[in-house]
Amino acid sequence: MSILTLERIKLNGSAATKAEAIQQAGELLVQSGAIDEGYIAGMHEREASMSTYLGNGVAIPHGMHESVQYIKQSAVSVLQLPEGVEWEDGEMAYLVIGIAATSDEHIGILSNLAEVVEEEEDVLKLAKTTDASFILDQLNNQQPQPE
């Protein structure tokens, strides 16, 4: 199964706080069977110790190393927030990309996602689209292809 699937993408979401956004991104992973609920607590812990805001309107919440026990399979979720949520002082997140990965696999995932969201213009397209397949295609195109 792919790391990112349509069932792990939520369009036109809203969140009043970054904690709420993290919760929703984690719930997408729970609902798709990728993680157990306990992983979400690790996502909140990670955010408390170090911001996961990348810039250009993108945040990438993920769990602590100790949370890996709650991962059933590596997966990525995307919570689209067209109105955004303040992540840091004056910094709005429009795409919240939840990441659950075993071992060092998440390093590659983060690298691929960073390339996709490098241009603010591209992020805005993803943040405003009404087609989940567009997000899926844009992010999966950056995934390494099996040899």
pLDDT, one tens digit per residue, over 25-84 is: 999 999 999 999 999 999 999 999 999 999 999 999 999 989 999 999 999 999 999 999
Domain residue ranges in the chain: 6-139
Cβ 91 vs Cβ 123: under 8 Å = no
93: Cβ–Cβ under 8 A, 6 or more apart, which residues? 18, 21, 53, 57, 58, 59, 81, 84, 85, 86, 87
Q: Which residue has the tokens 């590596």?
A: 74
Active-site position among 44, 62, 65, 106:
62
Helix H, strand E, coil C: the string for 78-114 is EEEEEEEEEEECCEEEEEEEEEECCCCHHHHHHHHHH
Mean pLDDT of the chain: 89
For residue 129, the one-letter residue type is T
pLDDT attached to residue 99: 93
The CATH classification number of 6-139 equals: 3.40.930.10
106 is catalytic: no
